[in-house]
Amino acid sequence: MPAERAYDHSVDPTQLTAEMLLHTSIPNKHVELVRGVLIVREPPGYLHGDIAAQLAKLLAVFVDERGLGRVLAAETGFKLQSNPDTVRAPDVAFVRRERVPASRPTGYLPFAPDLVVEVLSPSDRPGDTLGKVGDWLDAGTRIVWVIDPERRVARVYRHNGLESLLSETDMLDGEDVIPGFACSLATIL
CATH code for position 124:
3.90.1570.10
Q: How many domains does the chain have?
A: 1
Which segments in the chain show pLDDT lower than 50? 1-11
Asked if the structure places residue 23 within a domain, the reply is no
DSSP 137: H
- Look at residue 37 and tell me if it is in a domain: no
Per-residue pLDDT tens over the stretch 102-128: 999 999 999 999 999 999 988 888 888
8 is a domain residue: no
- Whether 36 maps to a domain, the answer reads no
Is residue 11, in this structure, part of any structural domain at all?
Answer: no
How far is residue 158 from each of residues 21, 114, 140, 167, measured CA to CA in Å? Answer: 29, 11, 10, 17
164: enclosing H helix or E strand: strand 163-167
Give the residues across from 88 on adjacent strands: 78
C-alpha distances (whole Å) from 169 to each of 148, 172, 185 are 14, 10, 6
Residue 19 lies in a domain: no
Residue 94 in domain: yes
Task: Please list the alpha-helical segments (H only) found in 8-93.
Answer: 18-22, 46-66
Q: Which domain holds residue 118?
A: 44-188
SS3 state at 122 = coil
Confidence (pLDDT) at 43: 86
> How is residue 110 annotated by DSSP?
S
* pLDDT for res 137: 98
Residue 119 lies in a domain: yes
Cα 174 from Cα 77, distance rounded (Å):
22
